Amino acid sequence: MDIPLNAKVYTKDGHIGRSVCLIINPIKQEVTHFVLRRKDEFGYQELVPVERIKEATQDMILLNCYTHDLAELAPFTKSEYIGINPDGTSDPAAMDDEMFAWPYSPYDSSIPPTVRVEQIPHGELGIHRGAEVEATDGHVGTVGEFLVEPEH
């Protein structure tokens, strides 16, 4: 079954979002999950096991459940606060862009900066559309689609 990226995702009771990432197990050479980004204003992302897919086309994924059945799904991203050292310094590479606008940030400066961390299962990899592809001799391109050929 083809599992498209950036496809509309539907449950039995309607459209709920888009697929934004595939999670693969490189040892077993199989897709284990896809990431659903909800269409609500928060854009909540969660891991959906491929067993939940009833049907998929090039631009649509139909799940074999209702929206309320997805309540137990694991979140794909988690926010972690970036600790600031006692001397007031932190790792600039880990800071959000708005931290560099301080003291003119539009956000409350009493809230520590956060970073979003993808919750990919141990031993698996996340493949995003547009991800950079590198070979041993340099840049190859970007991911447009990811094809897995089943064994015959």
**Per-residue pLDDT of the chain in tens (152 residues, 90 and over written 9):** 788 889 999 999 999 999 999 999 988 888 999 999 998 877 789 999 999 999 999 899 999 999 999 988 888 888 777 766 556 555 555 455 545 555 555 555 556 677 778 888 888 888 888 888 889 999 988 887 766 665 54
Q: Is residue 52, in this structure, part of any structural domain at all?
A: yes
Instruction: Please give the residue range of the domain that contains residue 84.
Output: 79-115
pLDDT at 66: 94
| 58 & 17 share domain | yes
| 50 & 124 share domain | yes
| 71 & 83 share domain | no
Return all residues near 61 (Cβ < 8 A) that are at least 6 apart: 3, 4, 7, 8, 9, 10, 19, 34, 53, 55
pTM: 0.70
Nearest of 40, 43, 50, 46 to residue 70 by alpha carbon: 46
| 103 & 91 share domain | yes
Q: How many structural domains does the chain have?
A: 2
| 39 & 106 share domain | no
